[in-house]
Structures are given as structure tokens and as C-alpha cells.
Amino acid sequence: MKRTTTAITLLFISIFCLFSFKNLDTRNFIFATLAEEPTLPEVPYNYDVDFPNHLLSDTIDTGYEAGEIDTTVFDLLDNDIATLGRVLFFDQKLSALENISCSSCHLQANSFAENKAFSEGISALTKRNSMNLNDLAWTSHETFFWDMSQTDMHTMIQLPLKDENEIGAVMEDVVFKLGDTNYYPDLFAKAYGDQIINEERIVDALVNFIKSMHTFNSRFDQQANINFKDFTEKENEGKDIFQFACTGCHTEGSSNFFGEVIFTANEQHPIDIFPFKFNNGLAEDSDIGAGEWHSDPSFDHLFKVPTLRNIAVTGPYMHDGRFETLEEVIDHYSEGVEENEWTSFFIPGSGYDFDQDQKDALIAFLHTLTDESFFVNPKWSDPFTDPLIQDAPAKEVTFQTIIQPNPMLEQATILFENPNEEKVNLNVYSVDGKMIYQTSSNGEQITLDK
């Protein structure tokens, strides 16, 4: 029997919140309905991908150089399978408590990263920063996760899907829950030819969806094909600095350093080029990265070099989110590098000692790598969101507010900063602007009863 749910049980406190309409002691929230079924176009979105000419050219000098490009990585993308993957990516039914989806830690507005150092897991914070998912199919795609422990995208998806502190999916239960909906059997039939739902197809659909994510509409890509004729003087200066200082590690396309042996200490212990490429002089912490799984101790404190596409919106940065801004990242490479046995191969002394104009130029160039269209493209958007909340007023954030759980169950706890114990008014609105609830508190939390 199909599960039915009344509209009231689908209410959730939208992230499109209105903070401080008139003063700092009033919090305004919008209630909206979370659709029970996804809203999908009659004809599926086109997930075909074409590489820009400059990525395939040997003659175009871009500054952000492309290594070997695997032009076949997008060949097997299927519109119906990617559509199924889109629904799965945003569906909280995949989680054990039906309160977390892949999109909980990978937000489209942040290039499918999350704007906090560590994500909130089921029982604790995640171990590392949530990485952005854009362009995973074709650049730096030989290894996945910050510790580079996996080489297959299917495994990359399975591990967090089943991790007890991330999504916590029990796949037998997930298969049953998906089969008990009005929409998944048809989506699987369109994607695979029959209504069979299993773990292999769930993971494959998610792979298709994530592989389709690309950022080829950035200012950088547009200008690369016309020899950067419309770049500003500052952007061109930053491109030149980047090419000189950063491309030793940051290239596009293949980054398979594991297989390139440059010398051998003895027959049992070949030394790869990999350790020379990835240690960027961060102050070491308890997280040893690739050293957790690699037998060679020289791999301690080595981490993946992700793509820099959309880097301006994927902060905080590094595996532990220690840098809040791009300016802090550039400061690190300029004067914050801690020398070790590897850094001297590609970073001078304790850093590049950039002056402020050079730092500003680098930041200007990095911003050209942003594809603004990626953040609003409907084919990568949440199909469960009520379209009404897309027209909600823009938020004005003046303090941190946390809602747990969100979507709410029978109750939701709203946590906020109120160190001076001032009176805080809470106004709850429906999406059509009608005030439906008011309360107040002198504390730092309010419990809302649905």
C-alpha cells in the first residue's frame, strides 16, 4: 500500500529565512511545503556535455593548463538515468531517518560543497570538509575524497551513502522505501527499461547525475576561446602569476601522479612523483590524510588537489576548512607555508612572498573560474522544492541561526545567538505571507511545535 502523508506533516522551515526585517531582536521564518513527489519536466533535461575547444587545444595558452583530457568521460551519460540520479540526490528517503540527503552537505549554491568547515553528521561532525562535486568526471578524477583513498566514483558514492554518520542508508530498506512510492518505479523504468530497484542502479544513477556537473560557462572558459581579449589588466596579471606559481599542482584534466615513478630507493619501495606534488606546507594536524591507508610514511599529511573551478564559492578551504576566504589561502602560499621535506621542490622558502597587488591579481583571476549559471541551472536543482519559495525575499543574515531537525519532525528547535539574553521575537509566515505563529524568548533557543 502506498504511503500517504497529509500536507501538514510535510511542513519544513525553509532555508529561505527572513532575518531581522526591522531590528536585530526579531527572527522571521517562512513555512513552506516540501513536495511529496518531485516536479520534473515532461522531456528530461539534456545532460550531454561538450568540452570547450581550449581544453582540447595544444596551442591555446590559458594559464590554468590542461593535462591529458579524457574525451570519453561524458559519452555514456543518459538523460533519464541522470534525471533519476537528480531525484535520488535530493531525496531524504535515502537516509536512515529520512532527514538527510546528499544535498544536505553538497549545496548547489556552493558548487555542491558546504559553507562550513565540517558538516553535521547523524551523530557527530564529519571528519573532513565536504568537497565540491563540480567537474569530478574529467578533472583530478583519478582519486576521490580528501585522502585520495578511492579510484572509482561508484565507491565514492557508496561509502558516504552507507556511512553511519553521513547518510546511514541501509540499502535493503532504501530499495523497499523507493519501491513504495508513486514515482520511483516509473523513473527506474525510464532509466533502465524495467522497474527493478537495486543498489547497483541507485549508485549508477547518482554517478550519472554527478558526472554531468560541469562549469564550462565561466568567464575563464568564454575568454580562453578568444585569447582572453576582454580580460582586465588585473585578471591577466593574475593569470600570469597563477601560471608561474600554481600550475605545478593545479592543472586540469588527468592528475595521475600515482603511476609516475621518478626513482627507486629499492625494488620493494618505489618513490612516486606524488609526494612531491601534494604537500602544500600546511601546519600539520592529527589528520594524516593519505597516510591513513598508504604504507609509505611519506604519504602522511598528503591530500587531494581539487579542481579550482568555482573555487570562489566553495569555502572554507582545505581538508579541515581552516581558511575562511581566498585571501587567507593566498596569504598561506605567500608567507604562511611551513617547510617540510617536500615543499622545497615547488614552493620557494616559506612561501612566494606576494605583494598586495599580486594577491589581488590572483584573487581576480580565480574569480574568473566561477560559472554563475551552474548555481541556478534547473537540471542540477532540487526537484522536491515548492516553486513558491523560489520567490521568497532575499535573506539578510546578521547572526547565526540553526534549525534542528530541518525538515522538522513533530518539533523543531531553533538555536540562535543571544549572549545578552535580550527578548527575541519569532514570527512564522506561510509562503503566501500570512503570519501563522508568534512567540518570544530571552534565551538562545525556541522549540516550535508543528
SS3 letters across the chain: CCCCCCHHHHEEECCCCEECCCCCCEEEEEEEEECCCCCCCCCCCCCCCCCCHHHHCCCCCCCCCECCCCCCCCCCCCHHHHHHHHHHHHCHHHCCCCCCCHHHCCEHHHCCECCCCCCECCCCECCCCCCCCCCCCCCCCCCECCCCCECCHHHHHHHHHHCCCCCCCCHHHHHHHHHCCCCHHHHHHHHHCCCCCCHHHHHHHHHHHHHCCCCCCCHHHHHHCCCCCCCCHHHHHHHHHHHHHCCCCCCECCCCCCCCEEEEEECCEEEECHHHHHCCCCCCCCCCEHHHCCCCHHHCCECCCCCCCCHHHCCCECCCCCECCHHHHHHHHHHHCCCCCCHHHCCCCCCCCCCHHHHHHHHHHHHCCCCHHHHCCHHHCCCCECHHHHHCCCCCCCCCEEEECCCCCCEEEEEECCCCCCCEEEEEEECCCCEEEEEEECCCEEEEEC
Determine the Cα–Cα distance for residues 54 and 434; give it in Å rounded to an integer. Answer: 52
Amino acid, res. 37: E
Determine the Cα–Cα distance for residues 157 and 147; give it in Å rounded to an integer. Answer: 15
Give which of 82, 160, 169 is closest to 127, Cα–Cα: 160
Q: Provide the grid cell at 223.
A: 575568454
CB atoms within 10 A of CB 152: 11
Amino acid, res. 162: K
Start-to-end Cα distance in the chain: 26
Cβ-contact 241, 250 below 8 angstroms? no
Helix axes 199-211, 171-179, angle to 10 degrees: 80
Q: What are phi and psi of 404, to 5 degrees?
A: -135, 130
Which pLDDT value is given to residue 383?
A: 96
Q: Provide the grid cell at 124.
A: 557527530
Q: What are phi and psi of 229, to 5 degrees?
A: -70, -20
Instruction: Give every CB contact of residue 108 below 8 A, 6+ residues apart in sequence.
Output: 374, 375, 376, 380, 381, 382
Scan for cell 542540477, then name that residue: 380
Q: What are phi and psi of 429, to 5 degrees?
A: -115, 150
Cβ-contact 113, 130 below 8 angstroms? yes
Determine the Cα–Cα distance for residues 8 and 223; give it in Å rounded to an integer. Answer: 50
User: Is omega for the bond preceding 316 within 30 degrees of 0, making it cis?
Assistant: yes
Per residue of the chain (450 residues), what is the pLDDT tens digit?
333 333 333 344 443 333 333 344 555 554 444 567 999 999 999 999 999 999 998 888 899 988 789 999 999 999 999 999 999 999 999 998 888 999 999 999 999 999 999 988 888 899 999 999 999 999 988 889 999 888 899 999 999 999 988 998 999 999 999 999 999 999 999 999 999 999 999 999 999 999 999 999 999 999 999 999 999 999 999 999 999 999 888 889 877 555 444 333 444 444 455 555 567 888 888 998 888 888 888 788 888 999 999 999 999 999 999 999 999 999 999 999 888 776 766 788 788 999 999 999 999 999 999 999 999 999 999 999 854 444 444 333 344 566 766 656 667 777 777 777 777 777 776 545 556 677 777 787 888 776
Cβ-contact 374, 212 below 8 angstroms? no
**Region for 433 from its dihedrals, namely left if φ exceeds 0, alpha if ψ lies in -120 to 50, beta otherwise:** left
